[in-house]
Structure 1
C-alpha cells in the first residue's frame, strides 16, 4: 500500500516502456486535469524517470520496473486502464483537493 499526499505533489510522471501513444494520451489528459493545481505532468521512459518525480503512474505490468527506477519513497501507482482508471482518478482527486489517498 502506498500513501500519497496530494497537496505535496508538484511533478507527476506517466512512465511507459514502448513509447506507445496511449500513455502519451494519458499524460496529456492528466496535464489538462491538473493544469490549475501547479502540477507538472510529463511522459517518460521507465529508464529515464526524473529523480524529482513526486509520483509515477505506469501500466500495472511495468510497476515493478518503475519502482526499481525511482528514488526510494517515490510512490508508483499502477493502472490497468489508460483512460478512466479508478486509482489514477483517486490520485487526481487527492491532488486537486489537497488530500491524502492510500492505494
Structure 2
C-alpha cells in the first residue's frame, strides 16, 4: 500500500475494465470537483494506467489488476460510480493536504 500527501496530487486516473462509459462519467464529475485545485482527472483501461498517475481510482473488483499495473501508486477502490464516499475522501485530501493511502 502506498501513501501520498493530498497537496502533491496532480493527476487522478479513473481505471475501468472493458467499457469507458461509466469511467468517463466519473472522470468528468470528479474533474469538475477537483478543478479548483488544479488536479487533472482522466480515464483509462485498467491495463493501461499511465506512469504519471498520482492516484488511481477503480471499482473494487479491479483493485488487484490496477495495483499490478500501478505499483507504488495510491490505488483506491470504490463500490458505486455515483456518490461513493471515496470521491469525497480524495477531494478532502487534496483540499486539506492530508495523507491518502491505497
Question: Same-fold call, TM > 0.5?
Answer: yes
Aligned residues: 102
Runs (4+) of structure 1 moved beyond 4 Å? Answer: none
Secondary structure of the 2:42 match is strand
**TM-score normalised per structure 1:** 0.90
Q: Which deviates the most, 78-87 or 54-63?
A: 78-87
Structure 2: gaps (5+ residues): none
Instruction: Output the aligned Cα RMSD.
Output: 1.5
State the alpha-carbon separation in 1 of the partners of residues 31 and 78 from structure 2. 17
The equivalent residue for 2:79 is 80
Structure 2 length normalisation: TM-score?
A: 0.90
Query: Where does the alignment leave 5 or more consecutive residues of structure 1 unmatched?
Result: none
Q: What is the 5 A alignment of 1:18-57?
A: 18-57=18-57
Distance in 2, Cα, partners of 1:38 & 1:26: 17
Paired with 2:29 and 2:7, the residues of 1 have a C-alpha distance of 20
